[in-house]
Structures are given as structure tokens and as C-alpha cells.
Chains A and B, each alone.
Chain A
Amino acid sequence: MSAGRGPVEIKLTLNGAACSVDAYPMERLLDVLRHQLGLTGAKEGCGEGECGSCSVLMDGKLVNSCLVPVLQAEGADIVTIEGLAPGPELHALQEAFLECGGAQCGICTPGMIVAACYLLSQKPVPTLQDIREGLAGNLCRCTGYIQIIEAVAQAARRGVAR
């Protein structure tokens, strides 16, 4: 796998389906998702890995897609917020965010839910401290976080990860 200055073909698994896209190797995964693949769930907040609004799962791990050059996603399994509940049913975390008032303006919400999903994959029965740490890289300017933390706790109680 190598690239010159022009666009290259990147093959990856996106929300469970094989996918191929032509992109410059240094394009940010976030931009490729939003502008070329039509997945606008992941948002750009800070663009420097501080706010978590561009969170996606890459090979099962939480990453900031604004800090991933798309060439590094070659062959990777990428899951975005759109992939968590592909059908008409909401994901249990989305349900819990709705019930608890965990979303207001909505900019941070996709990142929060993807980060929470990763947390529960690692710690199906998280403590309050685990939830706070798991979401510490995701900033919200609306809710004050309490409802978000409660939403994750509620989803965990319902056994989301099991």
C-alpha cells in the first residue's frame, strides 16, 4: 500500500459493508465520511482531538476521526453513529439519551453516543467514575453532562453491551 500525491483508492468496511472511496491519503477520515460518503453524523467541533464530536470506532476502538489520515483507515472496520442502529429501531443508548434529556443542540450527541458505546463494550457494568472517564474526551456545552451520564448509566443497567 503506497500513495503518491494524487488521490488513491481506499478500501474499508463502513458500518458493516465493504466500501471503496478515492481520496488524498492525508484527507481526514472525518472529511471523507462527511463529504464523500454522505455520513454527516460525526461532526467537526475543534478539529484537534479535544472535543470528541467526530468520534467513530476504528477496528472496534474509539478514535477522533479528525486525527485519522484516511490512508490509515485502509482495510479498517469503521463504525459511525449511523451504523449503531441501521434499522428503524433506535439503539438502546439513543433511547436512553432521549429519555434522560441527554441531547440538546445535538452537536456533541453522535460523539457522546459512540464514546458511550465504546465504554460499554469495554466495561458493560461501568461505575460512575468509569462513565465520567469514558466521556471525558467529549465536550458538551448544553446539558451540563448530568443527563448524559445518567443516560449512559441507564443504558448500562439495561445491559446494552450484553
Chain B
Amino acid sequence: MRSHPAEFELVAPGSLQAVVALLAGEPGAWLPIAGGTDVMVQYAAGTLGARRLVSIWNLPELRGIEVAAEELRIGAGCTYSEIRGHEVVEREFSLLAAVAGWTGSIANQNRGTLGGNIVNASPAADSLPALLVYEAELILVSARGERRVPYVGFHTGYKKMGLAPDELIRTVCLPRRYAGYVAYSRKVGARNAQAISKVCVAALGKVTGGVVEDVRIAAGSVAPVPLRLVETERMVRGRRVDSELLALGRKTAAGEIRPIDDIRSNAGYRAAVMGNLVGEFLGRLG
């Protein structure tokens, strides 16, 4: 049953300070809405639980990408289009540029925001594995002030996260230290545009003298949260890149994830694809 607009309240206070003051006044009462690519879908389907919404679209404090010496600071309200078209993102964070480009469609990329993708907390979110491998940090803001937390561990369970009811994500910070890494990303889905992934992977690897010096692998749609494959990373780190390593990586990755059967795929297929993608990634390191 479609929602009726008269049953909903939507306000647009226009500044970050006014928004966090509103959230602080009645924590949990207001649902922030940015580009609406998730919220409006639920609204149209009549499944949106919230009745009071506060617009954070176009809030100047959440916009812009700041290039600092040590890190890139992406405003949580930046759209995928802004992210994928940014020169430093393209050059130094190619995984993020790639996933921004295969999220939804151009129209969705013009409205969907990175912060929105994080708080929507879908385990299938395409951008989140990239944030895991880059070891992103989040700056959270509320009327109480700001705090900075690592993104890894932010999602604590299916649709659960370490964000207080009066907080917003303000900035996503990416350390600029991946210049020498091989970057690998791949989405497996029914089609490139619009389709939600069956499995998506983002990975970084650094090889010195034929040996894996550092490696980071993360995947979406394979667990209740976007997952960093720490066991697989541990197994392949320090080893020579050869066919034995590829087999080991495949097997460990397929066993490390916790996939389910759902409308898009099934657990067995996801595990097989996960193994194959890790094998493909490790092969690129050689």
C-alpha cells in the first residue's frame, strides 16, 4: 500500500547545526534523508517506518572533497557522481571510483550519497568493501560534538551500526598510502547497472620480490555485514605468488564468508564465486 504524503512530515532546516539540534531535541524521532535513493523507495512501497524526516540533501557542511596531505576527506553528502569524477579519487582510490561507477544508474549516482550508503547498512552495498580495504575512518557529528571512529567494526550486525540516534556521518576519511598497491574490484550481478550484487569484492595487494607483502580483501553480499576477509589475508600474507597461493586463497575465502540463499543468489554459488574472485585477484599480483 502506497504511503500518503499527508501522513509524513519533512523539514529542511538548511544547516548542519540546525539539523543536529533537531536530532538532539528528540533522538531517534527524525530520519535523515539525503538523496532519497533508499528512503523514497521504502516510502513508495509503504514500508517506511519513520513519519518525520529531516532533509540533509545539499547541506553545505556535508559536501565537498578535501584533499589533505595525509588523507582524503569526503563529505558524507557527496554523491557517487561527485566521487567517481574526482581526480584524486580516480588516481589514488580507484576501487572507490570503480564501485561508485557501478552503483545503481547515472540518475541514482547523481542522488545517492556515500554517507547514505553507509547508514543504509546493506550488506550488499557496493561502496563499503572499498571503505574496508582503504581502512576508512568516519567523523560523526552531533550537537554534543564530533568523534572519529574506524569504519571497520562500524557495522555490528545486519543493519546495525555504531551510530547514536542523534548523530550523522559528517566525513569519510581515506588515508593516502596506497600508491604502490595493485587494486582489484569486481561485481558479480545480473547486469552492470541497477542490479544488486550477488557478490562484490574490493582488494588491494602489494608484492615485493614475488612475495605478498600486504593484502586487504573485502566483500559484499557474503555476510550480514560488509566483510573484511582477515583470515584469507593472514593466510596469503608473506607467501610467494604462485598457483599454490591461488588455491589456498580460493579455499580460505570460500570458507571464511557466511553467505545465504536469497532472491539474488544462493550460498553455494556465492562461496564458489568468492573463491574465484580471490583467485583472480591473487593471480593479478603475480
A83 within 8 A of B: no
Query: What are the residues of chain A within 8 A of B45 when measuring CB–CB?
Result: 48
Inter-chain contact A4/B55, CB cutoff 8 Å: no
Closest A residue, CB atoms, query B45:
A48
Taking a contact as CB atoms under 8 Å apart, the answer to whether A49 and B37 are in contact is: yes
Taken residue by residue from 27 to 57, chain A's Cβ proximity to chain B (1 for < 8 Å, 0 otherwise) reads as 1100000000000000000011110100100
A26 within 8 Å of B by Cβ? yes
Asked if B55 and A64 make an inter-chain contact with CB atoms under 8 angstroms apart, the answer reads no
Given contacts A25-B10, A27-B5, contact A72 B108 (CB under 8 A): no
Contact status A72-B194, CB under 8 Å = no
A153 is an interface residue with CB less than 8 A from chain B: no
- Tell me, yes or no, whether B193 is within 8 Å of chain A by CB: yes
**Complex CA–CA separation, A156 to B274 (angstroms):** 41
Task: Report whether B11 and A62 are in contact in the complex, using a CB–CB cutoff of 8 Å.
Answer: no
The reply on B64 being an interface residue by CB < 8 A is no
User: For the complex, what is the distance from the CA of A67 to the CA of B35, rounded to whole Å?
Assistant: 8
The reply to whether the CB of B110 lies closer than 8 angstroms to some CB of chain A is: yes
Bound-complex Cα distance A28 to B111 (A):
14
User: A49 near B104 (CB under 8 angstroms)?
Assistant: yes
The residue on A at minimum CB distance from B4 is A24
**Contact string against A for B residues 225-268, beta-carbon threshold 8 Å, 1 for contact and 0 otherwise:** 00000000000000000000000000000000000000000000
A23 to B57 CA separation, bound complex (whole angstroms): 19
Q: Is the CB of A4 within 8 A of B9?
A: yes
Contact between A24 and B44, CB atoms less than 8 A apart: no
Q: Which residue of A lies closest to B13 (CB)?
A: A2
**Does B105 contact A52, Cβ atoms closer than 8 Å?**
yes
CA distance A74 to B12 in the complex (A): 10
Determine if A105 is an interface residue (Cβ-Cβ < 8 Å).
Answer: no
Which range contains the number of A residues in contact with the other chain?
35 or more
Residues on A with C-beta less than 8 A from B158 are none
B163 within 8 Å of A (CB atoms): no
A76 to B95, CA, bound (A): 32
Residue on A nearest B9 in the bound complex, by CB: A5
Given A1-B14, A25-B9, A137-B104, are A63 and B111 neighbors across the interface (CB < 8 Å)? yes
Partner of A72, one of B44, B55, B191, B192: B55
A71, B12: Cβ atoms under 8 Å?
yes
Given contacts A24-B6, A63-B110, A136-B193, contact A68 B36 (CB under 8 A): yes
B40 within 8 A of A: yes
A48→B44 contact, CB < 8 A: yes
A67–B194 touching, CB < 8 Å? no
Interface centre among A2, A52, A61 (most CB of B within 10 A): A2
Find A24's partner among B5, B12, B55 (CB 8 Å cutoff). B5
Distance of B84 from chain A, by nearest CB (Å): 11
| Bound complex: CA A55 to CA B119 (Å) | 26
Query: Which residues of chain B have C-beta atoms less than 8 A from A64's C-beta?
Result: 107-108, 111
Cβ contacts B1-33/A at 8 Å (1 or 0 each): 001011011111110000000000000000001
Could you give 18 example pairs across A and B, Cβ below 8 Å? A1-B12, A1-B13, A2-B11, A2-B13, A5-B8, A25-B10, A25-B12, A26-B5, A26-B8, A26-B43, A62-B110, A63-B107, A63-B111, A64-B111, A67-B37, A68-B40, A69-B10, A69-B53
Can you list the 3 inter-chain pairs with the closest CB atoms, starting with the nearest? Answer: A137-B105, A136-B193, A24-B5
Beyond contacts A28-B40, A71-B11, A72-B12: 18 other A-B pairs, Cβ-Cβ < 8 A, are: A2-B12, A24-B6, A24-B8, A26-B53, A28-B44, A47-B44, A49-B104, A50-B194, A52-B107, A61-B81, A62-B106, A63-B107, A67-B41, A69-B53, A74-B12, A115-B107, A137-B104, A137-B108
